[in-house]
Amino acid sequence: MEQFNQIIKGQIPVIVDFHANWCAPCKMMSPILKQLKEQMGDKIRILKIDVDKNQEMAVRYKVRGVPTLMVFQNGAVKWSGSGVMQADHLASVICSSTGITC
């Protein structure tokens, strides 16, 4: 938890993927997030949080369904959404919500 808090406090936007191993849509997000990382490179960080193993974090951030994606920057939630989303849409959301140049 302490390491998570340090990571989300940074200037670089962090995409947190709240997921579960049993969730089919969550499995669909893995290659999309990989594509996003390839597209945006060092401009972003991606963390995956298993809600079954980290229930206190799911409660803390009010995760009601999986997959839920949240964008953090400087310790604040800049955006959140649920469901499968394409890499281009996520890149657009990240750029507009964090002010980074894309």
Q: In CATH, what number is assigned to the domain containing residue 12? A: 3.40.30.10
Q: Note the pLDDT tens digit of each residue in 39-85.
A: 999 999 999 999 999 999 999 999 999 999 999 999 999 999 999 99
Instruction: Tally the domains of the chain.
Output: 1
Using only C-alpha atoms, the chain has a radius of gyration, in whole angstroms, of 13
Whether 95 has a pLDDT exceeding 90, the answer reads yes
Q: Provide the H-helix boundaries in 9-102.
A: 24-40, 55-60, 87-98
What is the pTM assigned to this prediction? 0.94
Annotated catalytic residues are 23, 26
Residue 26 domain boundaries:
2-98
**pLDDT band with cut points at 50, 70 and 90 for residue 101:** confident
* 101 membership: H or E segment, kind and range: none
